[in-house]
Structure 1
Amino acid sequence: MQRHRSSDVIFISLLIHVLLVNAQGQLQHRVLDPHWYPGTATWYGDPEGDGSNGGACGYGSLVDVKPMKARVGAVGPVLFMNGEGCGACYKVKCLDRSICSKRAVTVIITDECPGCPSDRTHFDLSGAAFGRMALAHENSLLRNRGQIPVVYRRTPCKYPGRNIAFHVNEGSTPFWLSLMVEFEDGDGDIGSMHIQEAGSSEWLQMNHLWGANWNIIGGPMKGPFSVKLSTSTGKTLSARDVIPTNWTPRATYTSRLNFFHN
């Protein structure tokens, strides 16, 4: 009987340890931490290509043009977090000094890597971003390595000269409205979103739909709409009347704000 109690204590202790490690890992990925953490990296697409075409976050053609062009990255479950990690920015640095420079590349999470390991942090980078970590003229040799050890850390997202924009997703109606946030400085990700109808003082909570997309069901809802978003670290920004009365699906409406210059 004593042996069973000891086994139970050991099992509970191990369970608590796993839960604490997971909680620390989730917190680590949600804050702008100056420390570097270990991970692995691969690359996909064309050797000098931009990476994903679209991606699981839903950014669509934005990944093919600057400022996202060639800076996109797909990640495994640890960083993707069912889409809550979309838009976050990371610095990634190769550890092999025989072929890699000391330079880190900055990537934006735009895609999920379904085949990436679930038990550790893994980046699947565009060919261009992966090769940029190499010493001069060693890009191809580095890509030939396949999977490499790296260190990474969260870093502020920076979109100079751009303000936060809200894309109204296809299929949206006055009864079902879906939005995606573009060019968010700072944390880059979204912890929550609220919307306010014309003539109302009430902020209605939106639901995380998939990737970087949020929606609300109600109505009929009337614009212009104000949108309030909060990042994973609790920073908040409100864009007043950013979506006009005559809004249309597939249109993008740019605010006058961003976290670095609001």
Structure 2
Amino acid sequence: MATRFDACRMFSADILMSVILLIASSAVVNADGPFAALTWTDSHATFYGGTDASGTMGGACGYGNMYNTGYGLNTAALSTTLFNGGLSCGACFELQCKVAESRWCYANGGSITVTATNLCPPNWDKPSDNGGWCNPPRTHFDLAYPMFTKMAQAVGGIIPVQYRRVSCIKTGGVRFSLNGNPWFNLVLIYNVGGDGNAVSVQMKGSQTSWFAMTHNWGQNWHLSQKLQGQALSFQLTTGYGNCLSFNNVASSDWSFGQTWEADSNFNTFP
């Protein structure tokens, strides 16, 4: 069962302070960066992964097979500046080709919406204006080929675009995949609606208080605490500060390698 906001404030003073310090030190809740732009912002886009987008499976967010996790081909690899150390994973962006600036844009191409699922790494061997498209401090979207070709002809290679953050519309609840060992819990969080990206996560057993999890990579979070034999609950804070508690997502007989779907999801944005 999920409850909003009030449950997310039910930390002890010590746990709350540790979360505040974690957020302050890593700037995870930051609605001022380019990854949080709510108004149309200039950028560029390319494509990768082959014409069938098979090369976009997996990636630096940890989602694995994009069809199995519900993201499909509506995906993008973000430049380092947008990727935000993996904390932008799951965020949704609307893009439109700047028709007036490129002959490759389709005049009536409209816009596309993609989810951040991968990192477009820097290429320091090339200048940022000639091949090093994902070099900091540039913002850049490396799209799955089918998404790029909804906006422009592929022959263009790189196109000018505008982007903005938009709400992620998801079917079903937030999903949690747990791997690790009795003393190390590694949780992949995906299918997050609303803001789309978790930037702070707490976890508890039915016999414990809340523990702040540590960001591991992508949307993988870990907790070094033995919780076997207890029902598991999670609390998520998203990029714009929305908070939701998912209670007893996993029953006490859970085992590593399982995935659970909560009965609720975020629907507020931003």
Q: How would you bin the TM-score normalised by the shorter chain?
A: 0.7 to 0.9
Cα deviation, 1:78-98, whole Å, max 9, x if unaligned, reads 111111111000001111254
SS of the aligned residue for 1:129 comes to helix
Structure 1, gaps ≥5 residues long: 1-24, 135-141
- Of 195, 198, 211, which residue of structure 2 is paired with 1:187? 195
Query: Quick check: 42-51 or 102-111, which moved more?
Result: 42-51
Aligned length: 224
SS in 2 for 1:260: coil
Distance 1:184 1:43 in 2: 25
Distance 1:226 1:32, change over 3 A: farther
Q: Please give the secondary structure, in 1, of the residue aligned with 2:181.
A: coil
Distance in 1 (alpha carbons) for counterparts of 2:169 and 2:151: 20
Structure 2 distance, partners of 1:222, 1:150, is: 51
Aligned match of 2:5: none
Deviation per CA, 1:161-206, whole angstroms, max 9, x where unpaired?
Answer: x11110113xx12210011112110001111100111123x21100
Contact 1:187 1:232 in 2 (8 A): yes
Q: Secondary structure at the match of 1:81?
A: helix
Partner of 2:245: 238
Match of 2:32 among 22, 27, 30: 27
1:88 equivalent in structure 2 = 91
Letter in 2 for 1:168: L
Identity value in percent: 31
3-state DSSP of counterpart to 1:27: coil
In structure 2, how many angstroms separate the alpha carbons of the residues matched to 1:88 and 1:192?
A: 14
* Cα pair distance change 1:41/1:238, threshold 3 Å: same
The answer to whether structure 1 residue 52 and structure 2 residue 56 are counterparts is yes
- Name the stretch that deviates more: 79-88 or 114-123: 114-123
1:139 is aligned to none
What's the TM-score once normalised by structure 2's chain length? 0.77
RMSD: 2.0
Q: Return closer, same or farther for 1:66/1:106 CA change in 2, 3 Å cut-off.
A: farther
Q: Give me the whole-angstrom Cα distance separating, in 2, the residues matched to 1:227 and 1:56.
A: 23
Deviations 1:190-228 (A, max 9, x none): 11100111123x211000001110000023554211111
**Matching of residues 188-227 of structure 1 within 5 Å:** 188-200=196-208, 202-219=209-226, 221-227=228-234
Give the whole-Å Cα distance in 1 for the aligned partners of 2:55 and 2:95: 16
Cα distance in 2 for partners of 1:36, 1:158 equals 20
User: What amino acid sits opposite 1:130 in the alignment?
Assistant: F
CA shift, 1:72, in A, is 1.0
1:89-121 Cα shifts (integer Å, max 9, x gaps): 000111125432351110100000113221211
Q: Does 1:43 align with 2:47?
A: yes
1:42 partner letter: T
Query: Match for residue 168 of structure 1?
Result: 178
Which protein is bigger by CA-based radius of gyration? 1
Find the aligned partners of 2:31 and 2:190 in 1 and give their Cα distance.
23
SS for the counterpart of 2:241 is coil
- Distance in structure 2 (CA, Å) of the matches to 1:110 and 1:57: 5
Show structure 2 runs of 5+ residues with no match.
1-29, 123-133
Letter in 2 for 1:241: N
| Partner amino acid, structure 2, of 1:151 | Q
Matched-pair contact (CA < 8 Å) for 1:92–1:150 = yes
Cα distance change, pair 220–64 in 1 and its aligned pair in 2 (3 A): closer
Flag the 1:207–1:52 CA change in 2: closer, same or farther, 3 A.
same
Structure 1 residues 214 and 92: alpha-carbon distance in aligned structure 2, compared to 1, 3 A threshold: same
Q: Which residue of 1 aligns with 2:165?
A: 154
Three-state SS of the structure 1 residue aligned to 2:84 is helix
Residue aligned with 1:234, SS: coil
SS across alignment from 1:185: coil
Sort the Cα spacing of 1:30 and 1:49 in 2 relative to 1 into closer, same or farther, 3 A: closer
For the residue of structure 2 that corresponds to 1:132, the secondary structure is: helix
How much has 1:28 moved relative to structure 2? 4.0
Question: What TM-score does the superposition give when structure 1 sets the normalisation length?
Answer: 0.80
